[in-house]
Amino acid sequence: MSENKLSKKEIFSAGILRENPVLSLFLGLCSTLAITTNIYNALGMGLSVIVILVLSNVLISLIRNITPDSIRIPVYIIIIATLVKVLEMFMHAYVPSLYTALGTFLALIVVNCMILGRAEAFAAKNTMVDSAIDGLGMGIGYTIIIFIISFVRQILSTGSLSLYNPLTTESIFSLQLIPDGYTIALFGEPAGAFLTFAVLIALAVYIQDTSSRKSAKKARGGKA
């Protein structure tokens, strides 16, 4: 079944389940591995990606019929770069702590393969509404995975789970889950990001493989 024949529910769920940009398509891995040291960074990056994905998909879908094929990629990049710059300015003005925490990775959303990939693979071929739904689903799927990775890394590396208000920098909550002396500092380093991601990929593959075997077994039983 082609993408343009999928229902809106299937389009939305694709980015969260079967075509998750991180676990299935392996897109956006640079930011996934770099900013997942804590849940504050992960939520900030996740929300930023959702905004850019939805807006860029909508705009690219709107101009898909008047954009010459020979210049479509430069046009997509200009649209994405403009949206990212506006988002940067907004965050710099209203949430400076989050802007500083995300650093250069916020600007690098422009060249995130996930953003450009959805523009080329979906938004350029589908309606504005479907493109917005696709961007939302993909963005939420991305956010869920980086949140899980940052959740694990923050707890194992610091022993605590905390989140603070980006507008006031006041603490929203702070929980000490692992006593001092039992934390694993490795998970706060780049190696910890790769290790956490590898375990998550292995778990996803195991679940998918188990589901496929059950479906195949059920199908054979039905035929019998």
Q: What is the pLDDT of residues 100-157, one digit of tens each?
A: 988 888 888 888 888 998 999 999 999 999 999 999 999 999 999 999 999 999 999 9
For residues 66 and 128, the answer to whether their CB atoms sit within 8 Å is no
The stretch 35-61 carries a mean pLDDT of 93
Q: How far apart are CA 136 and CA 108, in angstroms?
A: 19
Please write the tens of the pLDDT for every residue from 70-93. Answer: 999 999 999 999 999 999 999 999
pLDDT exceeds 80 at position 15: yes
The whole-chain average pLDDT of the chain stands at 88
- 65 in helix, strand or coil? coil
Closest CA to 162 of 179, 178, 175: 175
**More confident site: 30 or 133:** 133
pLDDT exceeds 90 at position 199: yes
Residue 3: predicted pLDDT: 44
The stretch 10-15 carries a mean pLDDT of 90
pLDDT exceeds 60 at position 193: yes
Residue 189: predicted pLDDT: 92
Kindly indicate the confidence band of residue 56, based on its pLDDT and cuts at 50, 70 and 90: very high
Tokens 């956010």 belong to: 143
What lies within 8 Å, CB to CB, of 143 at 6+ separation is 42, 43, 46, 47, 49, 50
**More confident site: 171 or 107:** 107
Q: What are the tokens at 151? A: 């959740």
Helices (H), 63-127: 72-94, 96-102, 104-107, 113-118
DSSP 181: T
pLDDT exceeds 70 at position 224: no
What lies within 8 Å, CB to CB, of 88 at 6+ separation is 99, 106, 107
Residue 222: predicted pLDDT: 53
Kindly indicate the confidence band of residue 4, based on its pLDDT and cuts at 50, 70 and 90: very low
Residues forming beta bridges with residue 171, ordered by sequence position: 164
